[in-house]
């Protein structure tokens, strides 16, 4: 699958190699804020039908790249593909987000789930990866991803999104062995899933630990970080003759950057609650950093967005090792022209930090 990359700025920054400017991509860059995405979503019928159709998933992955000078594409999929393949009955309730018909609430239900075969049970994701990689024609690298075991477990035990995480924490505190069994199965599933994405053409990986920040420091290390470290140690780290970098992102996990940097990952996602300069001072040259503008800033005027970009670039300082991004996914109500102003600000303002 070797194609010479025309723009490898993103991979170079993750490897802390010199770049001419700070690379940029956006979490959820293929999504509801784009009218062309909404058209394709309508055509697909529903969200999971869109994920399961390789051609349509490829189309929406490429849409933001046609509009904006982005430095990476990210696979269009969902973090809940693995729990769905484990037979929990995933569905999306209108206006409520993902739900599971059969949440895991006891030892017996956790013992009953198997490890999905990524090429068989999740073959539609692999078809999307290989289709997107082919259609990118080496323009920019393709990022594959998964949810972290802890984050997937929260949805599987709660049965959907949660505000207080009472069910998953009840299991964690009252039946820790059951929780560890679930996390063990998920770590094994995520490792094989991500390795299959690499085999099908993903050139970089991201692990989204969306709910790691709801844990205490001790529980974060035991129930979240430990399993991400396990995954990293089991990943294929080279493909097409170059390193496949891994980025870890724990939302609201700024207080644990040093522990995260010690897992063997190449980069850390940083949300807007942590100052970029402080993050860099704390992790030193150990890892690259990705982030970290508040997605709500995209509701501001283009001038204000530009100011914020300059502030973050200044905070990180000179030299490589920074991938510009939002601190979480772009909001559906954002005007695409504001996203454009954001991306243009990074491309125009960042070269002076790389001289």
- Name the residues annotated as catalytic: 28, 32, 41, 78, 155
Residue 28 known to bind ligand: yes
The closest of 247, 295, 287 to 271, measured between CA atoms, is 295
Query: Is 219 marked as a binding-site residue?
Result: no
- Reported in sequence order, the residue ranges of the chain that DSSP labels E, i.e. its strands, are 73-74, 90-93, 97-100, 142-147, 204-209, 238-239, 242-243, 246-250, 267-269, 288-293, 322-326
Residue 32 annotated as part of some ligand binding site: yes
CB 284 within 8 A of CB 317: no
Number of neighbours of residue 66 by Cβ within 10 angstroms: 9
| CA dihedral for 228, 229, 230, 232, sign (positive or negative) | positive
Confirm whether residue 316 is marked as ligand binding.
no
Whether residue 52 is annotated as binding a ligand: the answer is no
In what side-by-side order are the strands of the sheet with 322-326? 73-74, 142-147, 204-209, 246-250, 267-269, 288-293, 322-326
Q: Which residues contact 286 (CB under 8 A, 6 or more apart)?
A: 261, 262
Of 288, 285, 298, residue with least CA distance to 327: 298
Cβ pair 353, 22 in contact under 8 A: yes
Helix or strand holding residue 213 (H, E): none
CA–CA separation, 307 vs 325, rounded Å? Answer: 15
The pair phi, psi for residue 317, each rounded to 5°, is: 95, -165
Please tell me the distance from the alpha carbon of residue 35 to that of residue 22, in angstroms, as a whole number.
28
Distance linking the first and last C-alpha atoms of the chain: 34
Interatomic CA distance for residues 251 and 112, integer angstroms: 30
Q: Is 328 annotated as a binding residue?
A: yes
- Detail the residues annotated as belonging to a binding site for substrate: 28-32, 78, 155, 210, 328
- Detail the residues annotated as belonging to a binding site: 28-32, 78, 155, 210, 328
């Amino acid at each position: 699958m070797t194609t010479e990359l025309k723009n490898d700025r993103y991979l170079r920054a993750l490897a802390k190699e010199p770049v001419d400017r700070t690379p940029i991509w956006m979490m959820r860059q293929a999504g509801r804020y784009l009218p062309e995405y909404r058209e394709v979503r309508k055509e697909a019928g529903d969200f999971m039908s869109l994920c399961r159709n390789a051609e349509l998933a490829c189309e929406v992955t490429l849409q933001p790249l046609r509009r904006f000078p982005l430095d990476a594409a990210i696979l269009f999929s969902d973090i809940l593909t693995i729990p769905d393949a484990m037979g929990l009955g995933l569905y999306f309730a209108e206006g409520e987000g993902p739900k599971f018909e059969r949440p895991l609430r006891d030892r017996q239900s956790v013992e009953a789930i198997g490890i999905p075969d990524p090429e068989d049970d999740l073959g539609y994701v692999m078809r999307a990866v290989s289709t997107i990689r082919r259609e990118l024609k080496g323009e920019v690298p393709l990022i594959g991803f998964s949810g972290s075991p802890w984050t997937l477990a929260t949805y599987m035990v709660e049965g959907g999104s949660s505000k207080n995480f009472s069910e998953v924490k009840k299991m964690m505190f009252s039946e820790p062995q059951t929780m560890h069994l679930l996390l063990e199965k998920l770590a094994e599933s995520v490792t094989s899933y991500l390795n299959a994405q690499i085999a099908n053409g993903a050139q970089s990986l991201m692990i989204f630990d969306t709910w790691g920040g709801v844990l205490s420091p001790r529980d974060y290390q035991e129930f979240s970080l430990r399993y991400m470290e396990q995954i990293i140690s089991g990943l294929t780290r080279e493909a097409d003759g170059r390193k496949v970098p891994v980025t870890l992102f724990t939302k609201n996990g700024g207080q644990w950057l040093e522990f995260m940097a010690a897992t063997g990952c190449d980069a850390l996602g940083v949300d807007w609650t942590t100052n970029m300069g402080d993050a860099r001072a704390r992790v030193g040259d150990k890892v690259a950093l990705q982030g970290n503008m508040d997605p709500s800033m995209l509701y501001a005027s283009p001038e204000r967005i530009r100011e914020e970009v300059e502030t973050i670039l200044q905070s990180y300082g000179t030299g490589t090792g920074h991938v510009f991004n939002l601190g979480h996914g772009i909001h559906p109500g954002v005007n695409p022209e504001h996203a454009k102003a954001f991306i243009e600000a990074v491309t125009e303002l960042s070269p002076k930090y790389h001289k």
